[in-house]
Amino acid sequence: MIELAFRTVALVKRYPLAISRGTQAGSSNLFVFASDGSHEGVGELAPAISSDWTAERGQAQLLAFAASFDVAAGPHAAWAAMRARAVDPPAMAALDVALWDLLAKRAGLPLRVLLGLPRPNVPTSVTIGLNPPAVTRERVPEILRRTGARALKIKLGSPEGREHDRAHFAAAAEAAAPFGVRLRVDANGGWTVDEALAMDRWLAGRGVDYVEQPLAEGREDDLPHLLARRTLPIFADESCRVAADVPRLADRVDGVNLKLMKCGGITEALRIVAAARAHGLATMIGCMSESSVAIAAGASLGALFDHLDLDSHLNLAPDPAEGAPIADGIVAPLERPGHGGALRA
């Protein structure tokens, strides 16, 4: 028998994160504990910007779910049952990650070893949100110096228009230049097709690796037109939620970005990677507003991805958890049984 327990923790961001859809200065995250009496797994729910997937709602859903389903059946069966009952994806992720953590702890193995994976060796991006250029110039060096990151993701898609995007990008690139880092762009669906084509041409000569989610979710039928004319690789983020989304995106993007909070945890993340590879797509794992608990879970899968964007815990003041340190630009889980993450006492 597996007993569940819950704890909600208020997280505060060092720097508020502004994207095309809004700004988030902190979040209330739900931590889910799954115990068999000898071992305990932990997972995390992190709400997205402008989402009603709250900690309170997630806990209520999981309590109702556990009252009618035996979670001892394991993560695969629990994920399928939660999906069938329309549990919010971040709540699914919290329980799914806790069950995988418990499974690995029972085996006495790091989760990545249980899954047959090596340690991740791809550097993570760190993110600079939408800001006035003067703020961007001030924050980028501090972020890069503090984290030692080797890649910078620049949020674009500003509601203030493309000139603001260009000014913000230029400020970020200028401030990052002394650090020699890679540059990536995420528009969070903030562009039209014409704007995306114009920004692609403008960014192509400025050292950018790829563009993430140029068009809003729901505009996937416009992506083939963009793909045929693009210079930079295009990754789908909001447009790709579960593995079943991958086939319909395969002819209109270069890669997909999954998030544990978006797909419902490790169980579906593994399926998304398999589907993406089967369709010849590149892979990325990102994050929302997680602490080191969910980041450690994601980093445990890190070897499966071409690009990593596991940095939300690096923007917390403080991080209430530990287990996913950054070293030489790489976020890797601690080498201990489970996914490596844990709440601090």
- When pLDDT is averaged across residues 62-71 and rounded to a whole number, the result is 97
Residue whose structure tokens are 């990545």: 112
**What 3-state DSSP class applies to 177?**
helix
Residue 69: exposed, middle, or buried by beta-carbon count in 10 A (0-12, 13-18, 19+)? Answer: middle
Rounded-to-integer distance, Cα 301 and Cα 303, Å: 6
Question: Is residue 196 a contact partner of residue 226, using CB atoms and an 8 Å limit?
Answer: yes
List, for residues 220-269, the tens digit of each pLDDT value.
Answer: 999 999 999 999 999 999 999 999 999 999 999 999 999 999 999 999 99
Contact 224, 256 (CB under 8 A): no
203 near 235, Cβ under 8 Å? no
- State the Cα–Cα distance between residues 181 and 150, nearest whole angstrom: 5
pTM across the whole model: 0.97
> How many angstroms separate the CA atoms of 125 and 285, rounded?
11
pLDDT tens digit sequence for 11-62 = 999 999 999 989 999 999 999 999 999 999 999 999 988 789 999 999 999 9
Q: Which amino acid is at 65?
A: F
Nearest to 233 by CA among 306, 158, 162: 306
Domains plus CATH for the chain? 3-108 (3.30.390.10), 114-343 (3.20.20.120)
* pLDDT number for residue 46: 98
Joined tokens for residue 94: 């919290």
In this model, does residue 170 exceed pLDDT 80?
A: yes
